[in-house]
Amino acid sequence: MYDVLSNIPEKTIKCLDKGHVSILDVMPRLVPEDRKTADFAIVQAARVSYGDGTKTVNEDKGLIRYLMRHKHTTPFEMIEFKFSVKMPIFIARQMIRHRTANVNEYSGRYSIMKDEFYKPEIDNIRQQSSSNKQGSGDSICETDASTFLNQLDEICEKTYTEYEKSIQNGVSREQARMLLPVNLYTEWYWKIDLHNLLHFLALRCDSHAQWEIRVFADAMLNLIKPIVPWAIEAWEDYHDHRGAMRLTRLEVDALISSFGGQSVVPLKTENKREQDESKSKAAKLGLSVGQIEK
């Protein structure tokens, strides 16, 4: 048997100034020697529903791509990842919204919170976005960034000193922590299956997500890529937050009015089923598909 974690030379990726994402474990951790990646478990599960038909490596990959294209998602739930994540509390608050993960967090009731605060780089203090009410835009000028960072330093130092003092004065740890700001680092174990992780990554690697959470999501994506390369390739090709896009009925009507009757080049794939699916989509748009050039 082959240990899929040996595909990853560095199991920890540093994130922001003091955070990290580490991959601790995977299910399946051991796969047949000739497979080498956990993609194997997706195919294995799918065969329970589709029978023993597909066997070659190419057919296995084609099956994974078919499942991803058609949102047959449960085989992707057969793979699980356990991460250790150290991140600022305001990022943990965004991550915790992903209810399909199992979480166990460092306890600020049981232990003293460490004196570790996130301090962004000076060129990464961003202006409020003018187009997205929730997002940020370009960097602010260096003077304003510097003023903000000095305030941040001052507040972190002062609040942590008051936190320590309160604990020495007998205030419980669970209440003393009310003094601390949300850029304090926390740490947790985070376990999630591949289907729900891909949902998380689609939302949080996206440009609409806050830059700080994207750093963590990108790190997770880089860690899992060598473990499930075929699933990731299919996700990159077919997910509408990645390389693909979904059209509304109004957009379909507009495309038919603008391009109906025209011919389009065929897909760059050898997969006959995928070509046929694409032809039938083209037909819905009133398009015909040209011949593959030899």
Ligand X SMILES: Cc1cc2nc3c(=O)[nH]c(=O)nc-3n(C[C@H](O)[C@H](O)[C@H](O)COP(=O)(O)OP(=O)(O)OC[C@H]3O[C@@H](n4cnc5c(N)ncnc54)[C@H](O)[C@@H]3O)c2cc1C
Dihedral over Cα of 255, 257, 262, 263: its sign:
positive
Q: How far is CA 273 from CA 54, 66, 70, 111, in A?
A: 14, 9, 12, 57
Q: How far is the CB of 284 from ligand X (least distance, A)?
A: 27
Contacting ligand X (CB under 6 A), which of 70, 97, 281, 284?
97
Three-state SS string over 249-276 comes to HHHHHHHHHHHCCCEECCCCCCCHHHHH
Active site residue 204: yes
C-beta neighbour count of 204 within 10 angstroms:
24
Q: How far is the CB of 7 from ligand X (least distance, A)?
A: 26
Contacting ligand X (CB under 6 A), which of 158, 208, 273, 284?
208
Active-site annotation holder among 35, 177, 204, 214: 204
The residue among 100 and 258 lying less far from ligand X, judged by its C-beta, is 100
Q: Contact, 137 vs 127, CB < 8 A?
A: yes
Contacting ligand X (CB under 6 A), which of 33, 52, 56, 99?
99
The span from the CA of 131 to the CA of 205, in Å, is 20
The span from the CA of 293 to the CA of 132, in Å, is 44
Q: How far is the CB of 74 from ligand X (least distance, A)?
A: 13
> Which residues ranging from 246 to 285 are in contact with ligand X (CB under 6 A)?
none
Is there binding between residue 74 and ligand X (CB under 6 A)?
no
**Contacting range for ligand X; rule: CB under 6 A; set: 59-67, 79-87, 196-204, 237-245:** 196-204
> Which residues ranging from 33 to 72 are in contact with ligand X (CB under 6 A)?
none
- The CA angle 239-267-238, to the nearest 5 degrees, is 5
Q: How far is the CB of 256 from ligand X (least distance, A)?
A: 31
Q: Which residues of 249-278 are buried (b: 16+ CB within 10 A; e: fewer)?
A: eeeeeeeeeeeeeeeeeebeeeeeebeeeb
The residue among 24 and 203 lying less far from ligand X, judged by its C-beta, is 203
SS3 183: coil
Is there binding between residue 98 and ligand X (CB under 6 A)?
yes
Size, binding site for ligand X by CB under 6 A: 9
Active site residues: 204
Give residues in contact with ligand X (CB under 6 A). Answer: 97-100, 196, 199, 203, 208-209
